[in-house]
């Protein structure tokens, strides 16, 4: 049997490539950070060329460093930062502007206008999403309206739009496709008909000629160009990062949930073949399409999680590395009454307030950097608790455990506090690279490297389980104080 699956994990701040073996274990990894571009307050951009070059470089690096050739790779799986928009020239394959990143809020005003015109309900009904600057559709409209000549060129069929999965596949094999999980994050895709929606395209003034062909999350879409790795390799798995992590966590059955602690926090609950419309400001999204069937998810997005820890490092300079935050926070018994709402780019679910901003309340003369560090970790956990509460109301499912992954899931203090404020066990798996692993599993299933979802689920193993120890009264009191702090942060920008 071919030795490995190669997972390409294109994230918000870095590109990674990981080799997975048949047991679902990582056997080699390469990673490269790339530039974050901030042209104005609330704007975030990436150089799409740099995304591609960094992703290709780490893929070539991980093969070379581990003595692996293209013939040792059964398939490539791709997972990506979602909602980030790339617009490129079909003939040259070059971007016509910087990519607009999911965190970017330049279209908040346009979203306000759409909601005021009563269009929010149309989008929510068809896409499962709320009208927010977070999603791709309004970003694409902005590019068409603001890049000189872009709209005319788009109407002539000269340009192509894609989320990052589409961009990478175009560069790898020349096909213009997106999988259902990524398409479902654009505000342009009807998650019930599983097609691009003409009414939504008209509302955002997007020419249909720009759009990629929609394909399943598991299935061969093409072979990458031979010169990239020395021989063609089938590209057989695609999923947005959070859906990929849910698949990698083996949350294959309705009622199973995971939370990823990355730049942001993303909690997804599998609702099976049923697209449950949220009444609590959550998103309904496509999880994956496999063997002709699509599974749906309820999702809550927290915009700033690991980003808040990075701010302690880069903005305040109170830690030298992100890993130091745990020891600093552990040096005090509690937050000393301090609450930190890290709404740097607004608040996600269940608040959806693009005008909220980061807020620290409860500071006294006794407050130290350790209290701020501890409040930062607590703020991540509280935001996730808000999402889970909304999720349980929507799905009418009482969660029995939360599976966790992502960089900050390695922080034991944070995971224990998360279990305490949720009141359910938090379970960390042996392999925390679940985003990459999910992409690898989707690719491996398509080429017969793994035979079934049952085989994959059997490989999932617990590394540590965090049981809640906080009393119900204390939990409720802390959450009530947290929500007071959130109110202070809301609608800060006029």
Q: Strand, helix or coil at 234?
A: strand
Closest by CA position to 3, among listed 75, 62, 77, 59? 75
Closest by CA position to 74, among listed 272, 191, 220, 247? 220
How many distinct helices (H) and strands (E) make up the chain? 17, 23
Question: Residues comprising the binding site for ATP?
Answer: 12-14, 263, 306, 310, 407
Q: Which two tokens stand for residue 34?
A: 């790339």
Strand pairing of 462-466 and 426-429? antiparallel
Question: Residues comprising the binding site for sn-glycerol 3-phosphate?
Answer: 12, 82-83, 134, 241
Dihedral through CA 190, CA 193, CA 199, CA 202, nearest 10?
60
- Contact of 153 with 258, CB cutoff 8 Å: no
Question: Residues comprising the binding site?
Answer: 12-14, 16, 82-83, 134, 241-242, 263, 306, 310, 407, 411
What does the alpha-carbon distance between residue 94 and residue 88 come to, in Å, rounded to a whole number?
5
Query: Residue 232, CB half-sphere, CA atoms under 13 Å: how many?
Result: 11
What does the alpha-carbon distance between residue 37 and residue 50 come to, in Å, rounded to a whole number?
12
Q: Which two tokens stand for residue 192?
A: 């019930």
Q: Strand, helix or coil at 7?
A: strand
Q: Which two tokens stand for residue 460?
A: 């999932």
- Contact of 296 with 271, CB cutoff 8 Å: yes
Question: Residues comprising the binding site for ADP?
Answer: 12, 16, 263, 306, 407, 411
Q: Strand, helix or coil at 356?
A: coil
Q: For residue 283, report the phi and psi dihedrals to the nearest 5 degrees.
A: -105, 145
What does the alpha-carbon distance between residue 10 and residue 436 come to, in Å, rounded to a whole number?
9
> What pairs with residue 214 in β-bridges?
178
Question: Residues comprising the binding site for glycerol?
Answer: 82-83, 134, 241-242
């Amino acid at each position: 049997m071919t030795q490995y699956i190669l997972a390409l994990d294109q994230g918000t701040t870095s590109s990674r490539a990981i080799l997975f073996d048949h047991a679902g274990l990582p056997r080699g990894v390469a990673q490269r950070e790339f530039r974050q571009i901030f042209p104005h307050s609330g704007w975030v951009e990436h150089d799409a060329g740099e995304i591609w070059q960094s992703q290709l470089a780490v893929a070539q690096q991980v093969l070379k460093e581990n003595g692996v050739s293209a013939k040792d790779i059964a398939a490539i799986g791709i997972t990506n930062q979602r909602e980030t928009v790339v617009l490129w020239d079909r003939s040259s394959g070059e971007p016509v502007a910087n990519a607009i990143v999911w965190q970017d809020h330049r279209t908040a005003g346009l979203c306000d206008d759409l909601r005021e015109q009563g269009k929010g309900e149309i989008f929510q009904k068809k896409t499962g999403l709320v009208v927010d600057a977070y999603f791709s559709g309004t970003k694409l409209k902005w590019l068409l309206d603001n890049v000189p000549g872009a709209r005319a060129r788009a109407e002539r069929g000269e340009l192509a739009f894609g989320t990052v999965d589409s961009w990478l596949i175009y560069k790898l094999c020349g096909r213009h496709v997106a999988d259902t999980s990524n398409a479902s994050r654009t505000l342009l895709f009807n998650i019930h008909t599983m097609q691009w929606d003409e009414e939504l395209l008209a509302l955002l003034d997007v020419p249909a000629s720009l759009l990629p062909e929609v394909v399943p999350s598991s299935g061969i879409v093409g072979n990458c160009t031979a010169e990239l790795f020395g021989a063609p390799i089938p590209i057989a798995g695609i999923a947005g990062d959070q859906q990929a992590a849910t698949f990698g966590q083996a949350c294959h059955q309705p009622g199973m949930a995971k939370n990823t602690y990355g730049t942001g926090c993303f909690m997804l609950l599998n609702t099976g073949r049923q697209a449950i419309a949220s009444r609590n400001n959550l998103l309904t999204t496509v999880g994956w399409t496999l063997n002709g069937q699509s599974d749906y998810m309820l999702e809550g997005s927290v915009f700033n999680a690991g980003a808040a820890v990075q701010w302690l490092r880069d903005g305040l300079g109170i830690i030298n590395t992100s890993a130091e935050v745990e020891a600093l926070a552990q040096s005090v018994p509690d937050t000393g009454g301090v609450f930190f709402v890290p709404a740097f780019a607004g608040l996600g679910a269940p608040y959806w307030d693009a005008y909220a901003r980061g807020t620290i309340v409860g500071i006294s003369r006794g407050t130290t950097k350790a209290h701020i560090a501890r409040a930062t970790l607590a703020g991540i956990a509280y935001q996730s608790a808000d999402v889970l509460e909304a999720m349980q109301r929507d799905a009418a499912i009482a969660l029995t455990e939360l599976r966790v992954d992502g960089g900050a899931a390695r922080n034991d203090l944070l995971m224990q506090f998360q279990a305490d404020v949720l009141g359910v066990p938090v379970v960390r798996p042996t392999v925390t690279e679940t985003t990459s692993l999910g992409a690898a599993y989707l690719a491996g299933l398509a080429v017969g490297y793994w035979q079934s979802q049952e085989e994959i689920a059997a490989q999932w193993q617990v590394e540590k389980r965090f049981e809640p120890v906080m009393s119900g009264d204390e939990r409720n009191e802390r959450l009530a104080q947290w929500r007071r702090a959130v109110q202070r942060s809301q609608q800060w920008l006029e």
